[in-house]
Amino acid sequence: MTHATAPSPDAPLEASATIDGAEWWRSAVIYQIYPRSFADANGDGMGDLAGITSRLDALKQLGIDAIWLSPFFASPQKDAGYDVSDYCAVDPLFGTLEDFDTMTDAAHARGIRVIVDLVPNHSSDQHEWFQEALAAAPGSPERARYIFRDGRGEHGEEAPNNWDSVFGGPAWTRTANADGSPDQWYLHLFDSSQPDFDWSNADVRRMFRDVLRFWLDRGVDGFRVDVAHGLVKADGLPDFTPPVGAGSMGGQAADEEPVTAPYWGQEGVHEIYREWNQVLAEYDGQRVLCAEAWVDPLEKMALWVRSDEMQQAFNFPYLETPWNGPALRTIIDESLAAFSSVGAPSTWVLSNHDVVRHASRLALTAENPQGHGIGPETGDRPDRELGLRRARAASALMLALPGGAYIYQGEELGLPEAIDLPDEARQDPTWFRTSGERYGRDGCRVPIPWEADAPAYGFSETGASWLPQPEDWGPYARASQSGDADSTLELYSRALWLRSTHQLGLGAIEWHDAGDDSILWFSNGPITVVANTGVTDAVVPTPLRDATRILASSPHDEGTLPADTTAWFLTP
């Protein structure tokens, strides 16, 4: 189904615009652009800022409110740009600051806000401060900006503590003096090329306030804050062994007692965000901070979005909830309760550049911890048809919920994970740090298809692509789906249009009982949503029999709600 009248404004954005008096971010749909893989204007196989500018109309048509760009800053690209060597420079791979300004202006002119990624937990080892620290002596002010420690053992030959890196292997690397003799160790919660800053250091705090102002001065509407639960480490850096089953970023299984690791979710981070809140307040309009904080339980995560801290936090517990009626109902209720207890909107997210795409993930049958990924040798190969069917149903459910929603580029095309990437193409540090034991995240980062028959599916004119694209992606291309009422693209754009028209993002939900807990049934204003998470077809609840079905994630007969299907009804 197509529609000619998308509701979002054609006029340039008013900096302080509100919808019915509510700040824009309370109900926004934010589209994550992974710049490496969105659109490549110069044909080198790496997406770039000019490519984004050239494709903004497609996002306008989709009906999103804002874009968030993963890092495009100067970086040796050891962790795809999450290893920043200069926070105020654009990496030549992606273009120039002028290209950034052009893109921002073009987005704003289309009524689309712009959020950039801030990576404050660590820099690249090529950052000038880290290079200065290496050249300086133990105990120097240069070393005090990072976390250098003497090793344990008689000759300092053992790491200062037992912490592991999120990407596998130890979280410490020993440095060497100019003459080759061993020196101190430095902490890196991620790759060894990503040394952690010491956030008790005044230089570090000052630099990041300046970085915020640098991008705010250029007109950005906000920041997604990378590893926003990791900046502060517990005093004394005590040994810690995470509980079995804990995610490497700190998330835990729902049935486990939450444990606070000495490097995740420390109380001291909040003071930093209160300071940043004040920096944003120096600027006109409604600027936002959005936390990537893998903290459990949700009541704790809500501390990140108290009114004097950040505006949003990614709801990872929701992302990690299986396609299961009771589990979804519980997490939706808990999310709304936790975030509203501090006056913040809930957010919803199903995919991003760190997790298996939900069109594949929802058809996995075994545990797949965040960051491990799937590849050719993974025994549990997801059924593509089932995965897509569930993904469409899950997205249609998510987009009916009140609060903010995040969409990861390509999910609106129903893209599956690229499972069969050749080993030699893989780039995620996880793959290297675990000697191939974990595939990592490359499978969700493959450049997206625009046109079925163009080189690199229209990603780049030359056909170059930094990760190889699967040969069977033609039908997923945006142009192949556009105008086809049954396509995933049109499902998303219709859902977004209805969501905006009926202001579902600012709404509230009321549950109804279908007498079968695999059926989720709720209303949000004039829209009633029914999702069948079960394995058998169900009938549409009697009160909805005469209501108009205005959206459905799968084909259906009148009166039927097939398995793995979400439908929306207009119930005035």
Least distance (Å) between residue 437 CB and ligand GLC: 17
> In whole angstroms, what is the distance from residue 187 CA to residue 209 CA?
23
> In whole angstroms, what is the distance from residue 200 CA to residue 205 CA?
8
Query: Can residue 30 be called a binding residue for ligand GLC (CB under 6 A)?
Result: no
* First-last CA distance in the chain: 22
> In whole angstroms, what is the distance from residue 482 CA to residue 460 CA?
20
Residues 360-389 that bind ligand GLC (CB under 6 A): none
48, 196, 354, 442: which one contacts ligand GLC (CB under 6 A)? Answer: 354
> DSSP 3-state assignment of 445?
coil
Q: Tell how far CA 24 is from the center of its chain.
A: 19
193 or 360: CB nearest ligand GLC: 193
> In whole angstroms, what is the distance from residue 313 CA to residue 116 CA?
15
- The two beta strands, 565-570 and 548-552, are antiparallel
Please, are residues 54 and 165 in contact by the beta-carbon 8 Å criterion? no
119 or 448: CB nearest ligand GLC: 119
199 or 476: CB nearest ligand GLC: 199
Please, are residues 459 and 447 in contact by the beta-carbon 8 Å criterion? yes
Nearest-CB residue for ligand GLC:
82
Query: Can residue 190 be called a binding residue for ligand GLC (CB under 6 A)?
Result: yes
How many Cβ atoms from other residues are within 10 Å of residue 336's Cβ? 18
286 or 409: CB nearest ligand GLC: 409
Least distance (Å) between residue 79 CB and ligand GLC: 5
CA-based nearest residue to 20, from 504, 517, 560: 504
296 or 354: CB nearest ligand GLC: 354
> DSSP 3-state assignment of 317?
helix
119 or 567: CB nearest ligand GLC: 119
73 or 215: CB nearest ligand GLC: 73
DSSP strand E in 307-460: where? Answer: 312-313, 347-349, 404-408
Least distance (Å) between residue 190 CB and ligand GLC: 4
Query: Can residue 226 be called a binding residue for ligand GLC (CB under 6 A)?
Result: yes
Backbone angles phi, psi at 407, to 5 degrees: -120, 135
Angle ∠(417,421,422) on CA atoms, nearest 5? 170
Least distance (Å) between residue 491 CB and ligand GLC: 27
Least distance (Å) between residue 292 CB and ligand GLC: 6
How many Cβ atoms from other residues are within 10 Å of residue 420's Cβ? 12
Least distance (Å) between residue 80 CB and ligand GLC: 7
226 or 309: CB nearest ligand GLC: 226
Peptide bond preceding 382: is omega within 30 degrees of 0, i.e. cis?
Answer: no
36 or 499: CB nearest ligand GLC: 36
Residues 72-101 that bind ligand GLC (CB under 6 A): 79, 82
DSSP strand E in 258-325: where? Answer: 288-291, 312-313
Please, are residues 90 and 96 in contact by the beta-carbon 8 Å criterion? yes
Least distance (Å) between residue 510 CB and ligand GLC: 35
Least distance (Å) between residue 70 CB and ligand GLC: 7
Residue type, 36: R
Residues 302-331 that bind ligand GLC (CB under 6 A): none
Listed in sequence order, the DSSP H helices in 201-256 are: 202-217
DSSP strand E in 419-564: where? Answer: 509-511, 519-524, 527-532, 538-539, 548-552, 560-561
24 or 316: CB nearest ligand GLC: 316
227, 338, 527, 530: which one contacts ligand GLC (CB under 6 A)? Answer: 227
**x/- letters, 281..300, toward ligand GLC (CB under 6 A):** -----------x--------
Least distance (Å) between residue 220 CB and ligand GLC: 18
167 or 568: CB nearest ligand GLC: 167
Least distance (Å) between residue 117 CB and ligand GLC: 8
Least distance (Å) between residue 171 CB and ligand GLC: 12
**x/- letters, 31..70, toward ligand GLC (CB under 6 A):** ----------------------------------------
Query: Can residue 119 be called a binding residue for ligand GLC (CB under 6 A)?
Result: yes
Q: 3-class secondary structure for 41-92?
A: CCCCCCCCHHHHHHCHHHHHHHCCCEEEECCCEECCCCCCCCCCCEEEEECC
User: Rg of the chain over CA atoms, in angstroms?
Assistant: 23
353 or 499: CB nearest ligand GLC: 353
Least distance (Å) between residue 191 CB and ligand GLC: 8
Least distance (Å) between residue 406 CB and ligand GLC: 12
Residues 494-553 that bind ligand GLC (CB under 6 A): none
Residue type, 563: A
Query: Can residue 442 be called a binding residue for ligand GLC (CB under 6 A)?
Result: no
> In whole angstroms, what is the distance from residue 465 CA to residue 253 CA?
36
119 or 134: CB nearest ligand GLC: 119
Listed in sequence order, the DSSP H helices in 127-185 are: 128-135
**Total residues in contact with ligand GLC, by rule CB under 6 A:** 9
Task: Kindly list the residues in this chain that would bind ligand GLC in the complex (CB under 6 A).
Answer: 79, 82, 119, 190, 226-227, 292, 353-354
